[in-house]
Amino acid sequence: MVSSSPSQIAPQPTISALRLIARLDIKGANLIKGIHLEGLRVIGDPQTHAAKYYGDGADEIIYMDTVASLYGRNNLIDVVSRATEHVFVPMTVGGGIRSVEDARILLRAGADKVAINTAAVKDPNLIRKLSDVWGASTIVLSIEAKKTADNKWEAYTDNGRERTDLDAVQWAETGAKLGAGEILLTSVDQEGTKKGFDCELVAAITAHVDIPVIASGGFGALAHLKDLITVSKPTGVAFADSLHYNRFSIDQIREYCRASGIATRTHLIAETTR
């Protein structure tokens, strides 16, 4: 067990500005969305939505292949390469990455970072291998967590379908030590519910790692951001449902943050190519 005493807790990262990130879950050629990572519904063309979110001021874009683990490959190479034509903010791509070569293909296609989950659980040393080749800032450890008891969460794989018996907080610490430069933290319990973030989960992870953490899952009201920031220290927040269904825009979210004293980045649309 990892002690949570003050001497064992990692120093907090300095947060200069919260990143507002658009998350696009992809199945085949379609942008999809579900609840608890299940019951996936087709939203539309991921290219159209990514271009809109970029134009609206998203600081980054995350693409996740939701069925990659089932088929043992990532199907987003074409999606990413086409996105580079009209999206000029950092792009993270995840799903089905099992080797240095898999990462190489996606990075050459235009991804700035790669996210790994299932393969990292099966072989934690993959994190170190990727980090050694591409640098920690390129490697994102994706953690899909479900609450099991008070202040306890288990990491899941395969888009929240498979148990791992790994404590999510301990797994985050291990991933950071192995060379992950960032964590994409998805609360499976809250994902798609619009009921708010699992603030305790985000607080637990950010208290034990000193690398950036992106909170994902549960956003449904602007006040949920203040609830999250009040008790935890994420460096980014990923939005999906609220953007896809036009409940909120990036501009509205950014304005709320400014009014609430939450620092965000200033978005400037690039006039040049990547």
Could you tell me the mean pLDDT of each successive run of 10 residues in the chain, 274 residues long? Answer: 38 66 89 65 87 96 80 74 93 94 95 96 98 97 97 92 96 98 97 95 98 97 97 97 94 96 74 40
Q: Is 24:240 a contact under the CB 8 Å cutoff?
A: yes
Q: Please report the pLDDT score of residue 10 as a whole number.
A: 40
- Cα radius of gyration (the chain): 17
All domains of the chain in start order, with CATH: 19-259 (3.20.20.70)
Is 144 noted as a catalytic residue in this protein? yes
The candidate with the shortest Cα–Cα distance to 23, out of 78, 74, 65, is 65
Q: Is 92:117 a contact under the CB 8 Å cutoff?
A: no
Which residues are registered as beta bridge partners of 239?
Answer: 22
Q: Which of 25, 167, 182, 191 is catalytic?
A: 25
Which pTM was predicted? Answer: 0.89
Q: Please report the pLDDT score of residue 16 as a whole number.
A: 66
Is 25 noted as a catalytic residue in this protein? yes
Q: Which of 59, 65, 102, 144 is catalytic?
A: 144
